[in-house]
């Protein structure tokens, strides 16, 4: 049975336009996230309270920690790049969907250290034209044989790496598929369907027990589903648009939640002035260390 697990409280007052990409770095004990529309990468050290941010040359949709601690892998709106936070040097890797009215959106590394991500269609005609992709260790890019999304989200991997989770947010369904160590995908199936309220599935993370935590945009909540897709618990968030989640802290049991201000009118912003900030709540679950991208610049 599902149970209420309290309410997340303010951790970082950021007021991002579109906070996303919640990522805990176990090596440094720091929390990273992005403001997509603000084109800025953020880092917060809960031990010292230090805030750091970097402006980006275009919207930063997603990113990954790298095995080489000097770099981050950035998923910018139009391309992938390595980024050195110390020098702010960018090394462009590859363009993604050139010529299409899309931008990168959600992404996570698989358990083998390859970066899996999806795109979002931004055209005005309501078409569906995005895709899911994987950047390999050799920096080659391949499109995965998964359904074409309008807004890719909820990318994550089971603890053993044998299951991939993903969604097309407007469908309000989170899907799962078999995922081989060689990267082969197959047997796509329904994992969970949102049936109540007005929320849609956004970013997710997977805990050490195989539970998937999903930020539900528009519903002001994070929901945990067991490996069988059955809801086990909920966490309330004091803003309506939670966007992505990560389990962090010294024992990986603190749930961090990013949020957004976009699409909120003046009355909604007045009612939830902390929208766009980062929230946190202790949980009874433990997360997994974030997989590191194993590729290196040539």
Q: Catalytic amino acids? A: 202
Is 105 annotated as ligand-binding? yes
Residues in the chain: 298
Is 202 annotated as ligand-binding? yes
Is 214 annotated as ligand-binding? no
Q: What are residue 33's DSSP bridge partners?
A: 42
Q: Which long-range contacts (CB under 8 A, 24 or more apart) does 66-75 make?
A: 66/292, 66/293, 66/295, 67/113, 67/292, 67/293, 67/294, 67/296, 68/296, 69/27, 71/297, 72/32, 72/41, 73/115, 73/135, 73/293, 73/295, 74/41, 75/104, 75/107, 75/115, 75/117
Binding-site entries for a divalent metal cation: 20, 153, 202
Binding-site entries: 20, 103, 105, 153, 202
Binding-site entries for substrate: 103, 105
């Amino acid at each position: 049975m599902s149970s209420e697990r309290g309410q997340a409280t303010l951790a970082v007052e950021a007021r991002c336009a579109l906070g996303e990409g919640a990522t805990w770095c176990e090596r440094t004990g720091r929390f990273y996230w992005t403001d997509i529309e603000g084109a800025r990468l953020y880092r917060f050290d809960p031990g010292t309270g230090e805030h750091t941010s970097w402006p980006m040359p275009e919207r930063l949709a997603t990113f990954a920690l790298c095995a080489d601690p000097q770099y981050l892998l950035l998923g910018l709106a139009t391309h992938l790049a390595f980024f050195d936070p110390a020098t702010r040097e960018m090394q462009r890797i590859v363009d993604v969907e050139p010529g299409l009215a899309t931008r990168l959106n959600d992404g996570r590394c698989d358990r083998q250290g390859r970066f899996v991500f999806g795109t979002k269609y931004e055209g005005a005609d309501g078409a569906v034209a995005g895709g899911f992709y994987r950047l390999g260790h050799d920096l080659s890019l391949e499109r995965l044989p998964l359904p074409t999304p309008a807004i890719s989200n909820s990318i994550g991997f089971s603890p053993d790496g044998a299951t991939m989770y993903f969604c097309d947010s407007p469908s309000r369904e989170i899907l799962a598929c078999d995922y081989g160590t060689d990267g082969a995908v197959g047997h796509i199936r329904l994992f969970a369907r949102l049936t109540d309220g007005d929320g849609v599935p956004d970013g997710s993370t997977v805990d050490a027990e195989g539970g998937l935590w999903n930020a539900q945009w528009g519903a002001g909540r994070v929901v945990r589903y067991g490996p069988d897709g059955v809801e086990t618990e909920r966490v309330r968030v004091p803003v309506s648009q939670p966007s992505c989640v990560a389990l962090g802290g010294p024992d990986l049991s603190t749930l961090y939640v990013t949020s957004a201000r976009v699409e909120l009118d003046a009355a909604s912003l007045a009612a939830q002035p902390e929208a766009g900030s980062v929230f946190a709540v202790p949980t009874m679950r433990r997360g997994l260390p974030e997989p590191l991208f194993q590729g290196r610049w040539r």
